[in-house]
C-alpha cells in the first residue's frame, strides 16, 4: 500500500495540488492522468521518495520498482547486471560477496560475513537472478546475445526496455512506471499489458497511450482542479464519470441560480412592504441555495482538422520492387504495392524492423517533401496525379528552423496566409496569446509536434505521412489527432505504437513479419482476428 496524507506541492505561484489525501491499494492498478504540466511526474517522484513533499507525508512499501528515465546512468554495466540492480539489496550483496571471494586470505570475520551474504542472496532469490532477468529481457525483445553487452552499446529504445526490466525485477511490492510504453512496439506493449495485468501489488503508471491505460488500469487517479480524484475503471471510464459529475453540478447550479433569481425578485419587490417575515425567509433560502463553485480544469484540448486544397487522383501511390538495405542487412526486399486515394495504412512491426526505412524509401521524389534522409536502393516509386504530401518525421525537430519565432516560422510555409489565419491555427494548437512569439529553439517536444501539425493544417496536403506522431503528445492531443485522421478525406501512411490510433484510423495494415511485409486489406481488428485463427 502507498498512502498520501495532506500532501501539497507548488512552484512559485502555481499550485500543482493541495492537501491531497489518497491511498493506492495492493491488487489495484492505477493510471495517473492529467494534462501536461499538471504535476504527474512530480507526484510520481513523491511516491518513489525521490522528492519530498512541501507539506504532508507519503508512506510506501519497503520494495518499490521504479522505471528510470536516465538512459545513460548504466552505460558501463552489462545489460543483465543492470536488470539485477532493480533489487538493490541483492545487487549489493552479490557485489560484496564477489569482493570477498576475490581475496586470497579470508579471515574468520570474512567467513561469517559471507554466511550472512549467502543468506541475503538466498532470501532475495539471487541464485536464479540471472535466469529471472533473462526471462524479463526476452519478453521485452532484448535477445540473449545482448544480455552480456554493455548498456552503452544499446540503442535508445533498447535501453528503455532494459530499464523497464530493471523496474520489474525482484518482485517489488509496488511499481511506479512513468511512460513505460515510450519506444516500445505493439508486441512489447502487449507483453507488458499482460505482465502488469497479473501483478498483485500496487501499480501506479503514467502513460499517454489510451489503449494501454484502459487495458491495464483498474482505477484512474486524475490530477486536475489542483487535487487528485480517484475513479474506478480505466481512462475512458474516468472521462465519462468526470464529465457526468461536472455536468450534474452545472445543471444543479443552473437550477439553483434560476430559483435564486426568483427569490431575489420577490425580495426586491416586497423588501419595503408589509411582508417582512416572508422576505427574511427568502433571504435565508438564497443563502442556503448558494451555487457550488466549480474549480477551473487544467485540461486544454487542441483542435486538429486536416483539410485538402484539392483531392489527388484515384491512384495515389504505386511502387514496384522497392529494395533498401544497410550494408549486409536487407531491410526492404522487393516490396510492391499500390495505394488508392482515401486509404489509411498503418505500418506495424517490431522496433528496428524497418518501418521508418520503408516510409523514407517511399518518400523518394515525393511532391512536397524536402528531406535529404530519404531514398531507396532500387525499385520504382510513382506518385499519383495532383498528390501533395505532408510529412511528420519521427525526428521532426531539425525541420523547425532555429533563430525565429513560432508564428514567423509557420508563416514561411504560406506567405499568403494572413496574420489572423496564423494566429488562429496556433490558437487551435494551444499556442495562445504571446506564445506565438516564442523562439523556435525553446520549444518542448510536445510543442514542436503541435507546431508541425499547424504546418500541415496550413499547407492542406492530400496525402499525410506520419512517423510516430504521438511520442511527445498528451492524451488530449492524441485523441484530437485520432479524430482528425478519422475525418480526413485524403490518404494516410501511419507508423505508430498507439493501438487505439491504429484500430480506429487504419483501413489497411502493412506488417513487417519474418523479413517480409504482409499486406492486409482491412482494419486492425480484422487483422488481429485473422492472425489469431
Domain ranges of the chain: 2-235, 239-288, 315-532
Closest C-alpha among 323, 317, 308 to residue 390: 308
Q: Does pLDDT of 461 surpass 90?
A: yes
| Percent of the chain with pLDDT strictly greater than 90 | 32
Among the residue ranges 17-21, 326-330, 504-508, the one predicted with the least confidence is 326-330
End-to-end CA distance of the chain: 41
Q: How confident is the model at residue 501 (pLDDT cuts 50, 70, 90)?
A: very high
- C-alpha cell of residue 379: 525499385
DSSP letter at 290?
Answer: P
Q: Note the pLDDT tens digit of each residue in 252-270.
A: 767 777 777 777 777 777 7
Please tell me the predicted confidence (pLDDT) of residue 140. Answer: 83
Helices (H) and strands (E) in the chain, counts: 17, 18
> Rounded to an integer, what distance in angstroms lies between the CA atom of residue 80 and that of residue 134?
7
Across 286-291, average pLDDT: 66
Sheet (strand 2-11) strand order: 14-24, 2-11, 55-59
Q: Is the pLDDT higher at 409 or at 395?
A: 409
DSSP helix/strand/coil, 316: strand
Please tell me the predicted confidence (pLDDT) of residue 493. Answer: 96
Please tell me the predicted confidence (pLDDT) of residue 317. Answer: 94
Exposure pattern of 38-53 as b/e (b: 16+ CB <10 Å)? bbbebbbbbbbeeeeb
Q: Note the pLDDT tens digit of each residue in 139-179.
A: 888 889 999 999 988 876 788 889 888 988 877 888 898 88
Q: Does pLDDT of 17 surpass 60?
A: yes
DSSP helix/strand/coil, 287: helix
pTM: 0.77
Q: Does pLDDT of 61 surpass 80?
A: yes
Q: Does pLDDT of 294 surpass 60?
A: no
- Which CATH number is 315-532 given? 3.40.50.300
What is the crossing angle of helices 88-101 and 108-123, to 10°?
150
Q: Note the pLDDT tens digit of each residue in 208-256.
A: 889 999 999 999 998 887 788 899 998 888 888 887 776 676 677 677 7
**Fold identical between 2-235 and 315-532?**
yes
> Rounded to an integer, what distance in angstroms lies between the CA atom of residue 491 and that of residue 345?
8
Q: Note the pLDDT tens digit of each residue in 135-147.
A: 989 888 888 999 9
Please tell me the predicted confidence (pLDDT) of residue 113. Answer: 87
Q: Does pLDDT of 315 surpass 60?
A: yes
Across 345-368, average pLDDT: 87
Please tell me the predicted confidence (pLDDT) of residue 274. Answer: 62
Fold (topology level) of 2-235? Rossmann fold (3.40.50)
Please tell me the predicted confidence (pLDDT) of residue 293. Answer: 58
Q: How confident is the model at residue 114 (pLDDT cuts 50, 70, 90)?
A: confident
Q: Is the pLDDT higher at 339 or at 515?
A: 339
Amino acid at each position: 500500500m502507498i498512502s498520501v496524507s495532506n500532501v501539497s506541492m507548488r512552484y512559485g505561484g502555481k499550485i500543482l495540488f493541495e492537501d491531497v489525501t489518497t491511498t493506492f491499494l495492493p491488487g489495484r492498478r492505477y493510471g495517473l492522468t492529467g494534462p501536461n504540466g499538471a504535476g504527474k511526474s512530480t507526484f510520481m517522484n513523491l511516491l518513489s521518495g525521490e522528492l519530498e513533499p512541501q507539506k504532508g507525508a507519503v508512506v510506501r512499501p519497503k520494495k518499490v520498482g521504479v522505471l528510470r528515465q536516465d538512459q545513460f546512468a548504466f552505460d558501463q554495466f552489462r545489460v543483465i547486471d543492470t536488470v539485477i540492480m532493480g533489487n538493490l539489496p541483492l545487487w549489493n550483496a552479490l557485489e560484496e560477496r564477489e569482493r570477498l571471494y576475490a581475496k586470497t586470505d579470508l579471515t574468520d570475520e570474512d567467513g561469517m560475513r559471507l554466511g550472512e551474504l549467502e543468506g541475503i542472496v538466498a532470501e532475495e532469490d539471487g541464485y536464479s537472478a540471472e535466469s529471472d532477468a533473462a526471462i524479463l529481457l526476452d519478453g521485452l525483445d532484448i535477445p540473449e546475445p545482448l544480455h552480456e553487452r554493455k548498456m552503452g552499446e544499446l540503442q535508445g529504445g533498447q535501453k528503455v526496455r532494459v530499464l523497464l526490466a530493471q523496474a520489474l525485477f525482484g518482485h517489488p511490492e509496488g511499481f511506479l512506471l512513468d511512460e513505460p510504453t515510450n519506444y516500445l512496439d505493439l508486441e512489447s506493449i502487449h507483453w507488458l499489458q499482460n505482465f502488469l495485468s497479473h501483478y498483485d501489488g500496487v501499480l501506479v503508471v503514467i502513460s499517454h497511450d489510451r489503449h494501454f491505460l484502459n487495458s491495464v488500469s483498474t482505477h484512474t487517479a486524475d490530477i486536475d482542479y489542483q487535487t487528485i480524484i480517484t475513479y474506478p475503471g480505466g481512462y475512458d471510464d474516468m472521462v465519462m464519470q468526470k464529465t457526468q459529475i461536472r455536468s450534474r453540478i452545472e445543471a444543479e447550479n443552473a437550477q439553483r441560480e434560476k430559483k435564486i433569481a426568483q427569490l431575489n425578485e420577490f425580495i426586491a419587490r416586497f423588501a419595503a412592504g408589509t411582508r417582512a417575515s416572508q422576505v427574511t425567509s427568502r433571504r435565508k433560502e438564497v443563502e442556503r441555495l448558494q451555487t457550488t463553485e466549480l474549480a477551473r480544469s487544467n485540461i486544454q484540448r487542441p483542435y486538429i482538422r486536416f483539410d485538402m486544397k484539392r483531392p489527388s487522383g484515384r491512384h495515389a501511390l504505386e511502387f514496384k520492387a522497392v529494395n533498401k538495405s544497410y550494408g549486409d542487412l536487407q531491410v526492404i526486399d522487393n516490396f510492391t504495392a499500390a495505394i488508392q486515394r482515401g486509404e489509411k495504412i498503418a505500418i506495424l512491426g517490431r522496433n528496428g524492423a524497418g518501418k521508418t526505412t520503408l516510409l523514407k524509401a517511399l518518400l523518394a521524389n515525393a511532391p512536397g517533401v524536402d528531406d535529404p534522409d530519404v531514398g531507396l536502393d532500387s525499385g520504382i516509386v510513382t506518385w499519383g496525379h495532383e498528390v501533395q504530401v505532408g510529412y511528420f518525421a519521427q525526428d521532426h525537430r531539425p525541420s523547425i528552423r532555429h533563430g525565429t519565432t513560432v508564428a514567423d516560422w509557420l508563416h514561411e510555409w504560406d506567405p499568403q496566409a494572413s496574420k489572423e489565419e496564423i494566429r488562429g491555427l496556433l490558437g487551435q494548437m494551444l499556442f495562445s496569446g504571446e506564445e506565438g512569439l516564442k523562439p523556435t529553439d525553446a520549444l518542448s517536444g510536445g510543442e514542436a509536434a503541435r507546431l508541425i501539425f499547424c504546418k500541415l493544417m496550413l499547407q492542406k496536403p492530400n496525402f499525410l505521412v506520419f512517423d510516430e506522431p504521438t511520442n511527445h503528445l498528451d492524451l488530449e492531443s492524441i485523441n484530437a489527432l485520432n479524430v482528425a485522421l478519422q475525418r480526413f478525406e485524403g490518404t494516410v501512411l501511419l507508423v505508430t505504437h498507439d493501438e487505439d490510433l491504429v484500430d480506429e484510423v487504419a483501413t489497411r495494415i502493412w506488417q513487417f513479419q519474418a523479413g517480409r511485409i504482409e499486406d492486409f486489406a482491412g482494419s486492425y481488428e480484422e487483422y488481429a482476428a485473422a492472425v489469431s485463427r
